[in-house]
A and B are shown apart, each in its own frame.
Chain A
Amino acid sequence: MKKIIIREEYCMGCRLCEIQCVVQHSKTKNILKVYKGKDIKPLPKIRVEQEGYISFALQCRHCQDAPCIEACITGAMYRDKKTGAVLCNEEKCVGCWMCIMVCPFGVIQRNIEGKKVASKCDLCTGEEIPACVKNCPNEAIILEDRK
Chain B
Amino acid sequence: MNYVIIGNSASGIAAVESIREIDKENKIILISDEPYLNYSRPLISYLLGKKITVDKINYREENFYKENKVDLILNKKAIKLDVERKTVTLSDKQKIFFDKLLISTGGSPIIPEIKGLHSNGVFTFTKLSDEQKIESYIKKNKVKNAVVIGGGLIGLKATEALIELKMKVTIIELANRILSSTFDKKASDIIKNSLEKIGCKIITENTVAEIKEKSGRVTEIVLKDKTKIKTDMVILAIGVRPNIELVKNTPIKTNRGVIVDKFMQTNIKDIYSAGDCCEPTIAIWPVAVKQGKIAGYNMAGLKKEFGGAVAKNSVELCGIPTISVGETCPTGEGFEILEYNSEEKNIYKKIIIKNNRIVGFIFVGDIEKAGIYTNLIKDKIDITGFKQHLLKEDFGLINLPKEYRKHLVTGMGIEI
Task: Given A102-B286, A105-B372, decide whether A3 and B413 contact each other with a Cβ distance below 8 A.
Answer: yes
Task: Given A75-B59, A100-B368, A110-B321, decide whether A63 and B51 contact each other with a Cβ distance below 8 A.
Answer: no
Cross-chain contact A109 with B372 (CB below 8 angstroms) = no
Cα of A103 to Cα of B58 in the assembled complex, Å: 23
A-to-B contact residues, CB < 8 Å: 3-6, 8, 47, 49-51, 54-56, 58, 61-65, 67, 70-71, 73-75, 91-92, 94-106, 108-110, 116, 144, 146-147
Q: Is the interface of B mostly helix, strand, loop or mixed?
A: mixed
User: Residues of B contacting A92 with CB < 8 Å?
Assistant: 56
Q: Which residue of B lies closest to A145 (CB)?
A: B413
Cross-chain contact A3 with B412 (CB below 8 angstroms) = yes
Cα of A49 to Cα of B289 in the assembled complex, Å: 32
Q: Per a CB cutoff under 8 Å, which of A49, A58, A74, A97 touches B367?
A: A97
User: Residues of B contacting A104 with CB < 8 Å?
Assistant: 371-372, 374-375, 408-409
Q: In the complex, what's the smallest C-beta–C-beta distance from A50 to chain B, in angstroms?
A: 7
Q: Which residue of A lies closest to B366 (CB)?
A: A110
B-to-A contact residues, CB < 8 Å: 14, 40, 42-43, 46, 51-52, 56, 58-61, 285-286, 289-290, 293, 312-316, 321, 323, 325, 367-372, 374-375, 394, 396-399, 408-414, 416
Task: Given A95-B316, A98-B285, decide whether A6 and B416 contact each other with a Cβ distance below 8 A.
Answer: yes
Cross-chain contact A73 with B42 (CB below 8 angstroms) = yes
Cross-chain contact B416 with A56 (CB below 8 angstroms) = yes
15 cross-chain CB contacts under 8 A: A6-B416, A61-B416, A64-B414, A65-B411, A70-B293, A71-B289, A96-B42, A98-B286, A102-B286, A102-B312, A103-B372, A104-B409, A105-B416, A106-B369, A106-B370
Cross-chain contact A94 with B51 (CB below 8 angstroms) = yes
Q: Which residue of B lies closest to A97 (CB)?
A: B314
User: Residues of B contacting A106 with CB < 8 Å?
Assistant: 368-372, 396-397
Q: In the complex, what's the smallest C-beta–C-beta distance from B89 to chain A, in angstroms?
A: 31
Cross-chain contact B367 with A94 (CB below 8 angstroms) = no
Task: Given A73-B43, A105-B408, decide whether A61 and B293 contact each other with a Cβ distance below 8 A.
Answer: no
Cα of A27 to Cα of B300 in the assembled complex, Å: 46
Cross-chain contact A101 with B314 (CB below 8 angstroms) = yes
User: Residues of A contacting B413 with CB < 8 Å?
Assistant: 3-5, 61, 144, 146-147
Q: Per a CB cutoff under 8 Å, which of B285, B368, B412 touches A71?
A: B285
Q: In the complex, what's the smallest C-beta–C-beta distance from A49 to chain B, in angstroms?
A: 4
Cross-chain contact B416 with A70 (CB below 8 angstroms) = no
Cross-chain contact B371 with A146 (CB below 8 angstroms) = no
Cross-chain contact B412 with A58 (CB below 8 angstroms) = no
Task: Given A54-B398, A71-B286, A74-B40, decide whether A62 and B414 contact each other with a Cβ distance below 8 A.
Answer: yes
Cα of A100 to Cα of B367 in the assembled complex, Å: 8
Cross-chain contact B52 with A100 (CB below 8 angstroms) = no
Cross-chain contact B409 with A65 (CB below 8 angstroms) = yes
